Amino acid sequence: MSDLLDVVRGLSKKTDSKIVLVVLDGVGGLPLELNGETELATARTPNLDALAAESQLGLVELVGAGITPGSGPGHLSLFGYDPLKYVVGRGALSAVGIGVKLNAGDVAVRGNFATLGADRIVDDRRAGRPTDEKNVEIVAKLRAAIPSIDGIPVEIYTESEHRFVVVFRAQNGEALGANIGDVDPQVTGVQPMTATAHDPASEKTAALVNAFVGQAEATLKDEPQVNGVLFRGYSDVPHFPSFADVYKLNAACIASYPMYKGLASLVGMDVLPVEGHEDALEGKIQALTENWARYDFFFLHIKKTDSTGEDGNFTEKAHKVELFDELLPAILALKPDVLGLVGDHSTPSKLLSHSWHPVPFLIHGGHGRFDPAQRFTETEALKGTLGLRRGTDVMPLLMANALKLNKYGA
């Protein structure tokens, strides 16, 4: 059975209309007390309120009932890719999270630096938690020593402390498999394991991993503490039909954090440079404005609504919503044909973490009916004309409202 993405791909058409999708990361919340108000409801948001009064509203569940989405699955769902079908593994997410662009067929692996004693016995699985600076120094040595193995380019990146990422780049369109056993024994006092392939397609990758381990140990043999590598979390990179292919959109990503830029690049968006530090709200508006003529779709990512929820700071999370509210007029001044506003998951301050609760979704512009929901809040959105839906419905609804989808069937 074809999923909605396949249907949309067959119906989408290029038009002049422009869509902006703003993702307020983790924007959904919870009241601190029974029947109290959420962060969104507490925030003073005159611009959002005025927008909501003339918009279509609803709620979306990103992955499924009760399922708390990570940032990867949450965004893929918003981009229209069923997160149960398009799975981005840990290794790939680590790579994407530090801004590494991955291509279909590549394999990304999470690594730990370790301390090996006599006979290669693992003494410390985290090599004494080296500083990031030490990590960078070790990575530089490994890059110089292991540029490629057996014709396969090898890329090595610092993540943080003892964590690093290796990317094996597929050559000549021959996809590398990632179904491989761990090198990390998960305990100390034993040797690292030899990686074994669990299917024929992964045999070459297993050989690459084992060769890497040997060459790395040789390279680091004079290091007192950081002298071994352990691997687990191998990810192949699924083929994502691109935004250009599925939606006929020329799409740009405006985000500050590497993870979101990486996810956007996986689906073929151009990642625009953003000036400024951290959430860089003004830099994002500037990037949007300066590139307005060049694209017909913008994914604009706002991070701090999530971070403050993770910190358990209710007041500050509400304040981050208010900061976005101040930004809204500048976005509306560009007159997007359709503006979408949504979260990639909830991050209630009460839970100090992502949660499973549906997030509000708003469509401004396009063609809607009278919508009883008057604010962009969880409780008001419940009354909205868009109802409670899957996250994968967001893109088809934005496309439809922008009149970019042909009729299905005659």
Tell me which residues in 369-398 interact with a second copy (CB under 8 A).
369-372, 378-379, 382-383, 385, 387-390, 392-393, 395-398
Among 8, 20, 246, 321, the residue binding a second copy under the rule CB under 8 A is 8
Among 261, 304, 350, 375, the residue binding a second copy under the rule CB under 8 A is 350
Beta bridge partners of 56: 363
- Strand 228-236 to strand 107-116: parallel, antiparallel, or no bridges (unpaired)? antiparallel
C-alpha distances out from residue 96 to 24, 101, 124, Å? 20, 6, 27
Residues of this chain, 187-216, that bind a second copy according to CB under 8 A: none
Which contiguous run of DSSP H or E holds residue 401? helix 394-401
Q: Does 71 bind a second copy (CB under 8 A)?
A: yes
Stretch that binds a second copy, among 148-156, 185-193, 237-245, 364-372 (CB under 8 A): 364-372
Q: What contacts 172, CB < 8 A, 6 or more positions away? A: none
> Tokens 């003339």 label which residue?
54
C-alpha distances out from residue 396 to 6, 26, 266, Å? 11, 22, 19
The rounded distance, in Å, linking the Cα atoms of 324 and 341 is 11
The CB-of-69 to a second copy minimum distance in angstroms stands at 6
Cβ proximity to a second copy, 284 vs 350, nearer residue: 350
The rounded distance, in Å, linking the Cα atoms of 261 and 36 is 35
Among 48, 88, 180, 208, the residue binding a second copy under the rule CB under 8 A is 88
Residues of this chain, 23-62, that bind a second copy according to CB under 8 A: 30-31, 34-38, 54, 59
> Tokens 């949309």 label which residue?
8
Among 50, 87, 98, 244, the residue binding a second copy under the rule CB under 8 A is 87
Question: What x-and-dash track marks residues 297-326 binding a second copy by CB under 8 A?
Answer: ------------------------------
The rounded distance, in Å, linking the Cα atoms of 57 and 364 is 9
Among 13, 14, 44, 85, the residue binding a second copy under the rule CB under 8 A is 85
Residues of this chain, 90-149, that bind a second copy according to CB under 8 A: 90, 93, 97
How many residues sit close enough to a second copy to count as binding (CB under 8 A)? Answer: 74
Among 13, 44, 84, 143, the residue binding a second copy under the rule CB under 8 A is 84
Provide the 10 A C-beta neighbour count for residue 34.
Answer: 5
Secondary structure (3-state) at 48: helix
Cβ proximity to a second copy, 220 vs 338, nearer residue: 338
Cβ proximity to a second copy, 63 vs 331, nearer residue: 63
The rounded distance, in Å, linking the Cα atoms of 113 and 400 is 49
Angle at 358 between CA 354 and CA 364, to 5 degrees: 115
Question: What is the 8-class DSSP label of residue 204?
Answer: H
Q: Does 347 bind a second copy (CB under 8 A)?
A: no
Q: Does 335 bind a second copy (CB under 8 A)?
A: no
Stretch that binds a second copy, among 143-151, 319-327, 328-336, 353-361 (CB under 8 A): 353-361
Cβ proximity to a second copy, 184 vs 371, nearer residue: 371
φ/ψ of 314, rounded to 5, equals -55, -50
Cβ proximity to a second copy, 1 vs 187, nearer residue: 1
Among 19, 22, 45, 70, the residue binding a second copy under the rule CB under 8 A is 70
The rounded distance, in Å, linking the Cα atoms of 182 and 191 is 12
Stretch that binds a second copy, among 194-202, 292-300, 309-317, 354-362 (CB under 8 A): 354-362
Secondary structure (3-state) at 283: helix
The rounded distance, in Å, linking the Cα atoms of 140 and 142 is 5
The CB-of-130 to a second copy minimum distance in angstroms stands at 23
The CB-of-330 to a second copy minimum distance in angstroms stands at 22
